[in-house]
Structure 1
């Protein structure tokens, strides 16, 4: 057991305000989890669940982008909301470079990283933090992150941290072609065969890249890396390292299915915004990340989003047959995102915010 001197006097201040993050806490050599990170029992992810998940015969689809059928992508988006892609055209060096840059950023001193804390950064385009929304969470998540909003090349050069700037930009730019390819196919699945400038802006008008760091955890069974949630994006393009730890809610709504790392692959998942635009045809699926007791883990997601001032609502009018009724109402995208960030991770509760009310007077 560690002595009291191992812990900072004020753990929250040390982690949240001084810039040490959960990595700084782990680097102290603690061997028991601070109470701030102990999740309620129903949110923990025990060995029994992991064994159950690994024993499940269902697997997340893997799609070869050099030789695919449109129906493969459409079916995966409808059934699973998650799939992996290989031979996607992004050079392996670009992927390895951004992983190395992620380590480089988080290995900097707390003083350097703290320049990008919410109160210090001076811009929403660059945000360094820990957990999800610490001020409203009952228990903190075992993760640090750097979040980078892309506005323009010049803005990124001026604002993004030098330790990871060039590599993050290159990864984001290299993902452009495969993102367009995926969205073109997914729109065909909605009987939309031409993406004009307006639709392209709605589908990929804004992008944010996160660098995530999950330090080795002393009691991984008591906490989570990321709690249960679905993304608010159109698409999320995730680069995993070889450690793994991402789990997706199974088709039965109960079990959790692992998304195993594949060298050079990217994980694609449908976000809430595309579920709304597709009127529920495509599914944004609940997922989570477990804490790891033996290794550090990193991941690098790109969130492909509408612009903040875009209205998201079902893209109706192109379907054949009976007229389709909208399940979701018109929502200002920035309002949807704000609602998401007001709450701790709680599964798919956010999308209820956008549903058409079924109440009658």
Structure 2
């Protein structure tokens, strides 16, 4: 009795990137060995011994209940998490559990489309720069690719979304973007209050959340997960990320006061993961921290996650809030045009926290 042995495409990059098959295309033909393009050198691979086995409150990402609108203790917990962890999970946040489940189903539905349909949204084929289907992070600059496909949707307007976003996931993603609007305003109000800034005018709102990009991320089952990353270590460059992850798990966060320790962020039904980005670290003059995180590939299951990257408009300058400097704090960061910061981030592979050095004032 013969055993089926899938044949790898002769040109992996052509198959995965140019044809739009993605790494899901490799998983779908049930490859048994990871292609060389995805194999990290031994010194860069994730060391499972660095994962904390301590599940106590002191070694877990804070989980915060937002059900009480006027709870000062809850607000303090959010600001404390932003300062000491850079990550938190929130529950009872106002977005319905069924809406979140619909969103996850929509993400799976998009990635189950045939390659011809998905390829319509490749950068070379897409009808708009606001919609892009792709793979890895920055294939033109990476020496080792990441085991991930994605659909990236820049929210410009509801009309633009209805015109250009894929029908397979459009309505669910649009509902989610609209449904998180009040939550975002509430979070920023709390976080700025923690900086003793009590008024968010129109200009500050544009600086904090002038633009939003929604990604549907797909991490297919991987034949050798120990040799690669779904996403290698990085910090987000935005102000705030709202992340919905499915039940598979795989997100790990570096502990702020112990760089050798990584902590798993467990999936919790109905919860959203919130993390601070570089832009908010800069705006807060270092009080709030953007933290390195990564995604481990999974050898048994497909995984999806859906982040909303909330960020300044591209023409904004990110620099410490003037209110902080006026109170006597020495600025840690120089003003940087946000579009330049983005260009710097996307012009290289993921490299931990190195991007923020682009704005750091040398001591």
Under TM normalisation by the shorter chain, which class is it? over 0.9
Q: Is the 8 A contact 2:148 2:218 kept in 1?
A: yes
Whole-Å separation in 1 of the counterparts to 2:208 and 2:119: 33
1-structure distance, mates of 2:275, 2:6: 43
Measured after TM superposition, the shift of residue 48 of structure 1 is 2.6
**1:249 counterpart (248, 254, 266):** 254
Q: Quote the residue 1:335 is aligned against.
A: 340
1:41 counterpart residue number: 42
Q: Is the 8 A contact 1:210 1:300 kept in 2?
A: yes
Counterpart for residue 224 of structure 1: 229
Structure 1 residue ranges without an equivalent (≥5): none
Q: Is the 8 A contact 2:6 2:29 kept in 1?
A: no
Map residues 115-264 of structure 1 onto 2, 5 A cutoff: 115-251=120-256, 252-264=258-270
Does the CA contact (< 8 Å) of 2:284 and 2:324 recur in 1? Answer: no
- Judged with a 3 Å threshold, the aligned counterparts in structure 2 of structure 1 residues 350 and 318 are, in CA distance, closer, same or farther, namely closer
Give the conservation status (yes or no) of the 8 Å contact 2:83–2:287: yes
Work out whether 1:286 is the aligned partner of 2:292. Answer: yes
- 2:204 and 2:117 mapped to 1: Cα distance? 40
In the alignment, the residues of structure 2 paired with residue 43 and residue 87 of structure 1 have an alpha-carbon distance, to the nearest angstrom, of 38
**Distance in 2 between the 1:250 and 1:164 partners?**
34
Separation (CA, whole Å) in 2 of partners of 1:115 and 1:326: 46
Question: For the residues of structure 2 that align with 1:59 and 1:319, how far apart are their CA atoms?
Answer: 33
Q: CA deviation at 1:318?
A: 4.5
Secondary structure (helix, strand or coil) at the match of 2:171 reads: helix
Question: Aligned partners of 2:92, 2:169: CA distance in 1, in Å?
Answer: 25
Deviation at 1:3, TM superposition (A): 8.3
Q: What are structure 2's unaligned runs of at least 5 residues?
A: none
Aligned-residue offset at 1:43:
2.4
- Summarize deviations over 1:45-89 as a string: whole Å, max 9, x none: 24333xx32336410000000134211111000000000000001
Q: CA deviation at 1:9?
A: 1.2
SS in 2 for 1:6: coil
Which of 90, 94, 99 does residue 94 from structure 1 map onto? 99
CA contact 1:61–1:82 (8 Å) conserved in 2: yes
* Structure 2 residue aligned with 1:270: 276
Q: TM-score, normalised on structure 2? A: 0.95
- The residue number in structure 2 matching 1:296 is 302
Partner of 1:11: 12
When structure 1 is superposed on structure 2, of 144-153 and 122-131 the one drifting more is 122-131
Aligned partner of 2:118 among 113, 121, 127:
113
Q: Is the 8 A contact 2:325 2:331 kept in 1?
A: no
In the TM superposition, residue 97 of structure 1 has moved relative to its aligned partner by 0.8
- Report the Cα distance in structure 1 between the residues aligned to 2:52 and 2:24, rounded to whole angstroms: 28
Asked if structure 2 preserves the Cα contact closer than 8 Å seen for 1:136 and 1:343, the reply is yes
Q: Does 1:308 align with 2:314?
A: yes
Separation in 2, partners of 1:72, 1:4: 53
The 3-state SS of whatever aligns with 2:333 is: coil
Deviations 1:295-336, CA, capped at 9 Å, x for gaps: 110000001110000111000334786x11111111110100
Question: 1:179-213, CA deviations, whole angstroms, 9 ceiling, x for partnerless residues?
Answer: 11110010011111010111111111100100000
Report the Cα distance in structure 1 between the residues aligned to 2:209 and 2:230, rounded to whole angstroms.
28
Check whether the contact 2:285–2:324 (CA below 8 A) recurs between aligned residues.
no
Given that 1:248 and 1:256 are in contact with CA atoms closer than 8 Å, whether structure 2 keeps it comes out as yes
**CA distance change for structure 1 residues 5 and 181 in 2, over 3 Å: closer, same or farther?**
closer
Secondary structure at the aligned position of 1:317 is classed as helix
Superposition TM-score, scaled by structure 1 size: 0.95
